[in-house]
Structure 1
């Protein structure tokens, strides 16, 4: 049989008061049961904890060590209860966020800022991925939420649409167009079109290709790369043009200008995805804030 937390509390009260009567009063209990509890603790531990004199009691070496360690145990236990409670309330803990690169030009930074402002003790892991990687990571529980473009399709996922925006063209700043600030894609079919990601597929590249096909446009000169940032770098050096979400144009980039596509090509949606069986309060809090920020942005 082991000493339990209640018995440890009894012992500490007596050890600090060095008086059974005062300790019993502090514990709001009668003295005889307290004396029996201390005796039981000594028997269970096989050690005398108090030197009992006629007018006073003192701690033995074993009692002094138990007092020292016992106070640490109780303090650690109380700290653990508080930590568990805060984790249960979503006040602290860890949240792993996967995201497509283009989301950093739009609403994602505002969502992260708002969440950090409300949950200062939460640790956030931000992991850039393409859609296929996001899907696999969410299935294997390597991430908790995923910002995807377009939405991840899986019966085990919950998808929340955060916003919709048109596609625009990222072009070298040397590209000449017939219309200022706008471009007709039909006039650019001889250009190289930089698409991303190269794999795995299907991906945003396929969304772009399908959108062009719907308007009777066939992109023949295709240059595939792995991510948006590399695609924009290739545009900047004149390797070709790239179709991107309009929000990407909010950030200045040397050598690149962003043009409206006329007639419009298509709209792209940014979605927040998480597992259907997700029960964590951290995810619920994050989704709530993301949707609130999204509503204010629209």
Structure 2
């Protein structure tokens, strides 16, 4: 089987058409180079060079091997570069899962910063609820997961990013109280729109627990699967929805966002990855995510 060393030696002689110059280029003595070429010809059972008194030329077999050698060595060099850049985190792919509310807050800034620093890393962005994020991290279908508040698993590393108060998304015809705040205990028979419906427990249970602590009646419930659908139901007057404060930074027709008074509670966003994940591009992403979160806090 041909070796990289043999191809390198052969290509030097084929391009120089002179054993002395080829040996100098390779920084070896001429006799060992001549022996290597002779051994190569013996292994292949061909003559690669026409050896004249004053010059050497390539045979047809030599010309073909020269073309192939250039291609093989070029591919090898490209492969080494690609593997090195992957190892350095400069190239590759990251599969990122996220809860829907993350797109209203810190996540876009993290993605923008990462792309600015590592433009050749391909990002796959996949919205999921916490249960889907957990399952996908376990099965290695995701590399990184943005969860609210966190994914609990001994095999995961969780890095807190930001904590924010809960606010109310209400139909635009609902009048807030003093100071543009909303007292949930005064809403009477208004529906509480919750998400996701399953699997449970979920973000919805966090909201229900906070309401129970303050004695707020949540008997009238409308369940849906995601934040976007919940906001759409609010906009058409079906009820109110409790959301992270960052969701209120994006205005939407048919609804308004109000601070809750007395305060209902806080929710946190975290970035999660597998404990056994040592990929440098993942570590780079986590580092940038934490840096962005420190600037926003």
TM-score range, shorter chain: over 0.9
Is 1:163–2:165 an aligned residue pair? Answer: no
Aligned alpha-carbon RMSD (Å): 0.9
Q: Deviations over 1:86-134 (max 9, x none)?
A: 0000001000100000011111000000000000101000000001000
Is residue 11–residue 69 contact of structure 2 (8 Å, CA) maintained in 1? yes
In the aligned structure 2, how far is the partner of 1:127 from the partner of 1:177?
A: 36
Q: What is the TM-score of this pair, normalised by structure 1? A: 0.98
Distance 2:39 2:177 in 1: 94
Distance in 2 between residues matched to 1:25 and 1:149, nearest whole Å: 64
2:198 corresponding residue in structure 1: 199
| Separation in structure 1 between the aligned mates of residue 18 and residue 177 of structure 2, nearest angstrom | 96
Instruction: For residue 180 of structure 1, report the CA deviation from its aligned partner.
Output: 4.6
Task: Note the 1:78-89 alignment, pairs <5 A.
Answer: 78-89=77-88
Which runs of 5 or more structure 1 residues have no equivalent in the other structure? none
Say whether the 8 Å CA contact 1:167–1:243 is kept in structure 2. yes
Please give the per-residue CA displacement for 1:151-170, whole angstroms capped at 9, x wherever unaligned: 11111111111010000000
Map 1:119-158 → 2, pairs under 5 A: 119-158=118-157
- Aligned-partner SS, 2:178: coil
TM-score using structure 2 length: 0.98
Q: Which residue of 1 aligns with 2:225?
A: 226
Cα deviation, 1:185-217, whole Å, max 9, x if unaligned, reads 111141011100111111111111111111122
Question: 1:28, 1:174 → 2: CA distance?
Answer: 84
Range that drifts further, 121-130 or 44-53? 44-53
Could you tell me which runs of 5 or more consecutive residues in structure 2 were left unpaired when the two chains were aligned: none
Q: Is the 8 A contact 2:88 2:280 kept in 1?
A: yes
Matched with 1:267 is 266
Note the C-alpha offset of 1:179.
Answer: 2.8
Three-state SS of the structure 2 residue aligned to 1:8 is helix
Q: CA deviation at 1:253?
A: 0.2
Secondary structure of residue in 2 paired with 1:220: coil
User: Counterpart of 2:65 in 1: which secondary structure?
Assistant: helix
Q: Which residue of 1 aligns with 2:23?
A: 24
Report which stretch shifted further, 180-189 or 208-217: 180-189
Secondary structure at the aligned position of 1:58 is classed as strand
Partner of 1:213 in structure 2? 212
Structure 2 SS opposite 1:163: strand
Q: Displacement, 1:218?
A: 3.0
In structure 2, distance between residues paired with 1:147 and 1:242: 21
Q: 1:189, 1:220 within 8 Å by CA — same for their partners in 2?
A: no
2:44 matched to which residue of 1? Answer: 45
Q: Report the secondary structure of 1:201's partner residue.
A: coil
Residues matched between the structures, number: 297
Divergent runs of 4+, >2 A: 176-180
Give the C-alpha shift of residue 26 in structure 1.
1.4
1:117 aligns with 2:116: yes
Matches of 1:98 and 1:231, distance apart in 2: 20
- Asked if the contact 1:189–1:219 (Cα under 8 Å) also holds between the matched residues in 2, the reply is no
> Partners of 1:157 and 1:205 in 2: how far apart?
23
- Whether 2:238 is the aligned partner of 1:239: answer yes
Cα distance in 1, alignment partners of residues 53 and 79 from structure 2:
40
Equivalent residue, structure 1, for 2:184 = 185
